Amino acid sequence: MTTAAIIVAAGRGARAGGDQPKQYRPLLGRAVLAWSVAAFAKTGIDRIIVVRAREQADLCAAALAGFDVTYADGGDTRTASVRAGLAAAQQADIVLIHDAARPGLTPDIIRALIAEIKAGSGAVAPALAVPDTLLRTEEGGRVTSELDRNGAVRVQTPQAFRGDALRAAYAAAPDDKSFTDDLAVVRAHGGETRVIAGDPRLLKLTFPEDFSMLERLLSDERFTCVGSGFDAHRFGAGDHVTLCGVRIPHDKGLLGHSDADAGWHALVDAILGALGQGDIGAHFPPSNPQWKGADSERFLRHAHKLAANAGARIVHVDVTLICERPKIGPHRDAMRARTAEVLGLPLDRVSVKATTTERMGFMGREEGLAAQATATLDRPT
Q: Is the pLDDT of residue 219 over 80?
A: no
pLDDT per residue over 221-274, tens digit each? 678 999 999 999 999 999 999 999 999 999 999 999 889 999 999 999 999 999
CB atoms within 10 A of CB 136: 9
Cα(21)–Cα(333) distance, integer angstroms: 34
- Final residue in a domain of this structure, among 159, 182, 207: 207
Inter-helix orientation angle 332-343/262-275, to 10°: 40
Across 366-371, average pLDDT: 96
Q: Is residue 215 a part of any domain in this protein? A: no
Residues 186 and 227 in one domain: no
pLDDT value at residue 15: 57
pLDDT value at residue 220: 65
Q: What are the φ/ψ torsions at residue 356 (nearest 5 degrees)?
A: -120, 175
Q: Is residue 373 a part of any domain in this protein? A: yes
Q: Which helix (H) or strand (E) holds 9?
A: strand 3-9
Question: What CATH number does residue 249 fall under?
Answer: 3.30.1330.50
Cα(280)–Cα(102) distance, integer angstroms: 36
Residues 246 and 344 in one domain: yes
Residues 226 and 196 in one domain: no
Cα(330)–Cα(341) distance, integer angstroms: 19
The DSSP code sequence of 232-287 is EEEEES-SEEEETTEEEE-SSEE--SS---HHHHHHHHHHHHHHT---HHHHS-TT
- Are residues 217 and 201 in contact, defined by beta-carbon separation less than 8 angstroms? yes
pLDDT per residue over 97-129, tens digit each? 999 999 999 999 999 999 999 999 999 999 999
Q: Is the pLDDT of residue 351 over 80?
A: yes
Percent residues over pLDDT 90 in the chain = 79
pLDDT value at residue 309: 80
Across 149-166, average pLDDT: 95
pLDDT per residue over 280-289, tens digit each? 989 998 888 8
* Enclosing domain of residue 80: 3-207
- Final residue in a domain of this structure, among 180, 207, 234: 207
Residues 256 and 322 in one domain: yes
